[in-house]
């Protein structure tokens, strides 16, 4: 990543299969922190070395990025209660300060709260306790959160957070570069490019690209193609909790063209 994106920031987050993601492994948070020092400022490396999470801001635009170690919120019995509580206290403090300073916040992590729509009999990624706490915090600070970005499910989907039946925030889950997911089977690799306002942080749109594996194997050549652009494909005027709520509601209508 450093070789090909030498002039860009790379924002690393820990997935559940990454080195250093679980206790007793070969790598520690500090081992990984050394690898990320080329991208992250010292304060961010300091908290990453403690628990795999960090934050930094872009002072000119007042946009803050909060990177969570969502492994600590999962149902994994090996999770350290001390590390979990430390991250949670830190997260609450950061969000309170951001609201006080009138910052706009991007939240990124590997796993999102909620169930997997592909495996509806599987346990949700977050424990029930921390799913509840997380959603309560998102509702509390929804006015300053301009985006939540996750992966983990290897699928292209989104979630909406409601407060008293009003849509107040959204979560985007991008598909994976990895083509393999057990037990569901294979998927074409995907890469997503977001368009956002660099001053306000407002997310305006995204374009989803994919690699057709069958075609690539047949031609022995990888050709990435545009799959769709969110606003034009679904006829949205903006990317907001309200617009995504209305889109999701349209899927439930009989003979929904958008669902098809």
Domain extent at residue 97: 29-251
Neighbours of 214 (CB within 10 A): 9
CA dihedral of residues 149, 150, 155, 161 (deg, nearest 10)? -70
What is the mean predicted confidence (pLDDT) over 214-231?
95
What is the mean predicted confidence (pLDDT) over 179-204?
87
In a domain, residue 140? The reply is yes
Report the SS3 class of residue 164. coil
Report the SS3 class of residue 171. strand
Quickly state the pLDDT bin for 204 (edges 50, 70, 90): very high
Position 81 scores a pLDDT of 86
Instruction: Say if residue 19's pLDDT is above 90.
Output: no
Q: What CATH number does residue 77 fall under? A: 3.30.750.180
In a domain, residue 183? The reply is yes
Average pLDDT, the chain: 91
In a domain, residue 234? The reply is yes
Position 182 scores a pLDDT of 66
Parallel/antiparallel/unpaired status of strands 203-211 and 190-196: antiparallel
Closest by CA to 241, choosing from 154, 130, 165, is 165
In a domain, residue 6? The reply is no
Say how many domains are in the chain: 1
Residue 176 has, within 13 A of its CA and on its CB side, a CA count of 15
pLDDT tens track for 124-181 = 888 899 999 999 999 999 999 999 999 998 889 999 999 999 999 999 999 999 887 7
| 53 contacts 87 by C-beta, under 8 angstroms | yes
**Where are the strands (E) in the chain, listed by range?**
54-58, 63-67, 104-108, 145-150, 157-163, 166-173, 180-181, 185-186, 190-196, 203-211, 224-229
In a domain, residue 2? The reply is no
In a domain, residue 24? The reply is no
pLDDT tens track for 90-137 = 999 999 999 999 999 999 999 999 988 888 788 888 889 999 999 999
pTM of the model: 0.93
In a domain, residue 111? The reply is yes
In a domain, residue 34? The reply is yes
Secondary element (H or E) of residue 219 = helix 213-219
């Amino acid at each position: 990543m450093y070789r090909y994106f030498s002039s860009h920031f790379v924002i690393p987050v820990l997935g559940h299969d990454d080195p250093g993601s679980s206790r007793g492994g070969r790598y520690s948070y500090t081992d990984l922190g050394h690898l990320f020092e080329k991208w992250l400022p010292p304060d961010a490396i300091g908290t990453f070395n403690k628990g795999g999470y960090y934050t930094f801001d872009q002072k000119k635009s007042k946009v803050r990025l909060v990177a969570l170690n969502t492994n600590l919120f999962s149902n994994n019995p090996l999770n350290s209660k001390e590390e979990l509580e430390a991250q949670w206290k830190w997260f609450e403090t950061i969000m309170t300060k951001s609201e006080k300073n009138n910052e706009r916040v991007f939240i990124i992590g590997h796993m999102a709260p909620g169930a997997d729509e592909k495996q509806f009999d599987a346990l949700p990624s977050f424990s029930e306790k921390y799913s509840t706490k997380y959603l309560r915090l998102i509702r509390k600070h929804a006015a300053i959160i301009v985006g939540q970005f996750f992966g983990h499910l290897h699928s292209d989907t989104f979630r909406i957070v409601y407060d008293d039946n009003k849509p107040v925030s959204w979560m985007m889950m991008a598909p994976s570069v990895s083509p393999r997911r057990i037990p569901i089977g294979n998927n074409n690799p995907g890469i997503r490019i977001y368009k956002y306002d660099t001053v306000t942080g407002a997310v305006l749109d995204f374009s989803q690209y994919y690699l057709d594996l069958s075609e690539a194997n047949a031609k022995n050549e990888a050709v990435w193609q545009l799959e769709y652009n969110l606003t034009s494909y679904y006829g949205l005027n903006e990317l907001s909790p309200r617009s995504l709520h209305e889109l999701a509601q349209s899927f439930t209508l009989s003979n929904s063209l958008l669902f098809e």
